[in-house]
Amino acid sequence: MKVLISAIGKTKSSPQQQLYIDYIKRLPWKVECKEFEVKTTDPIQRKTKEAELLLSACAGYEYIIALDEKGSLLSSREFSEHLGNWQKQGVSSFAFIIGGADGLDNSVLKKAKLIWSFGRVTWPHMLIRGLLAEQLYRAHSVLSGHPYHRD
């Protein structure tokens, strides 16, 4: 399986980055992270330009999953089931999109197969990468029967 994380903001050496790295190393899947920064003070222009960059990185990926606070609240098991069902349908490449401080443009949300929320609280977008990496590892564990995930 091939996974892309297309994200706004550049990571620096930090505990959040280390969390991300720790979980990505555990996955047997090819995972790539493409990071973008947009420098403009106009929030509408920034969101539009971010959307263009995020979506252009996803070219060639079969399914896009947008991470957005207004998305579906899924348990780890439910997300694993989505991923497993898509794999059974022959889907082998997934792009996850993490927006910036202003959220995601509607053009991104319209292209997403799934809009997923990690809860109604606001998370720092750098921390979301680590949380996503952990959920990907958890989904892999569920799908492969590994005891990491316990119900």
User: Is the whole model's pTM more than 0.75, yes or no?
Assistant: yes
In a domain, 138, yes or no: yes
In a domain, 31, yes or no: yes
pLDDT exceeds cutoff 90 at 124:
no
Distance between CA 57 and CA 15 in Å, rounded?
26
Residue among 30, 47, 139 nearest 97 (CA): 47
User: Domains in the chain: how many in total?
Assistant: 1
**Rounded alpha-carbon distances, angstroms, from residue 74 to 12, 67, 82, 90, 120:** 29, 12, 10, 22, 12
Distance between CA 12 and CA 67 in Å, rounded?
21
Distance between CA 8 and CA 101 in Å, rounded?
9
pLDDT at 12: 81
In a domain, 51, yes or no: yes
pLDDT at 125: 80
Reported as a single tens digit per residue, the pLDDT across 106-117 is 999 999 999 999
Yes or no: say if 116 and 74 are a contact pair by the CB < 8 Å rule: yes
Reported as a single tens digit per residue, the pLDDT across 46-98 is 999 999 999 999 999 999 999 999 999 999 999 999 999 999 999 999 999 99
In a domain, 149, yes or no: no
Q: Provide the residue range defining the domain that includes 12.
A: 2-144
Yes or no: say if 1 and 92 are a contact pair by the CB < 8 Å rule: yes
pLDDT exceeds cutoff 90 at 122:
no
pLDDT at 147: 82
Reported as a single tens digit per residue, the pLDDT across 132-147 is 999 999 999 999 998 8
CATH of the domain at 116: 3.40.1280.10
Mean pLDDT taken over the chain: 94
Contacts of 117 (CB under 8 A, 6+ apart): 67, 68, 69, 70, 71, 72, 73
pLDDT band at residue 11 using 50, 70 and 90 as cut-offs: confident
pLDDT at 151: 65
In a domain, 90, yes or no: yes
In a domain, 57, yes or no: yes
In a domain, 151, yes or no: no
Yes or no: say if 35 and 10 are a contact pair by the CB < 8 Å rule: yes
Contacts of 25 (CB under 8 A, 6+ apart): none
Residue with tokens 């029967």: 145
User: Quick one: what percent of the chain has pLDDT higher than 70?
Assistant: 99
pLDDT at 34: 97
